[in-house]
Amino acid sequence: MAADLLLLEKYPHPERVRYRPFAWSVPAYTFGVSQKWATYREMVPGGTQLVRRATGGGLVSHLEDWTFAVVLPSAHPLCAADAMASYAAVHQALADALLAQGQPVKLVPLPAGSRPFQSPASCAQRAEPNDLVRTDDGRKVAGAAQKRTRHGLLLEGYVWRPFLPGCDWNRFEKDFPLALGKVLQSPPVAVAEPIYDQHDHEETWARFNSADWNQRS
């Protein structure tokens, strides 16, 4: 999560679209920046990492997912568009990459009227507009959360692998950034380990490792 925020705020080439796929070294869950630690600590198995994101949303399990971050520069048209538009763009790229393998997925359509407020506690199970679901049984396949600042837009997303049997993940890892480039009309730069100013790096990682960040109410 610290690396994602650094990708938004401190990347040395801020004019580029950035893309970062990553895995988890330990069993982990994440939760939205404005949510309460105590609520989710009770829901997560003991001994499992629970980390506050810089983006919004509720609790997300990373036990069997494929996780990624996308950052759009502040000049990209989607930074000035409605939040639903950026969700739709990134999830359309996910859909295109999965449909290329015959996976039965689609984006959830926008509702005709207004939607009542729903708690984000179960956002990993409940599909929202422009999330990705299976066409056969409606199970949620992918979701995301975002953060907008003067630096641009950070979108953190996941794909739930158990709901996509037979998916060739090595192929998907190649197809998704290509599809993303087409949808965003700008090829993303795949970012592994960029070099940041040491102070910025240490400060951001220390914040995400601190109880003040993770456990605040």
Higher pLDDT, 216 or 146: 146
List, as one string, the DSSP characters of 147-188: EEETTEEEEEEEEEGGGSTT--HHHHHHHHHHHHHHHHTSPP
pLDDT, tens digit, for every residue of 5-39? 999 999 999 999 999 999 999 999 999 999 999 99
pLDDT at 68 over 90: yes
Beta-bridged to residue 143, according to DSSP, are 158
pTM recorded for the entire structure: 0.92
pLDDT, tens digit, for every residue of 34-49? 999 999 999 999 889 9
pLDDT, tens digit, for every residue of 114-144? 545 455 555 556 688 999 999 999 999 999 9
Give the CB-side neighbour count of residue 164, counting CA atoms within 13 A: 28
Among 44-48, 50-54, 191-195, the least confident range: 191-195
pLDDT for 95: 98
Report the candidate in 59, 79, 67, 102 with the shortest Cα–Cα distance to residue 8: 79
pLDDT for 117: 43
Please compute the mean of the pLDDT values over residues 190-216 and round it to a whole number: 90
Dig out the tokens for 196 from the structure. 């940041």
pLDDT for 217: 77
- The domain ranges of the chain are 2-111+119-209
Contacts of 39-47 with CB under 8 Å at 24 or more apart are 39/121, 40/121, 43/121
Cα separation, 138 vs 127, whole angstroms: 8
Ramachandran angles phi, psi of 145, nearest 5°: -140, 160
Contact status, residue 93 vs residue 183, Cβ threshold 8 Å: yes
CATH number for the domain formed by residue range(s) 2-111+119-209: 3.30.930.10
DSSP class of residue 121 equals G
pLDDT for 187: 95
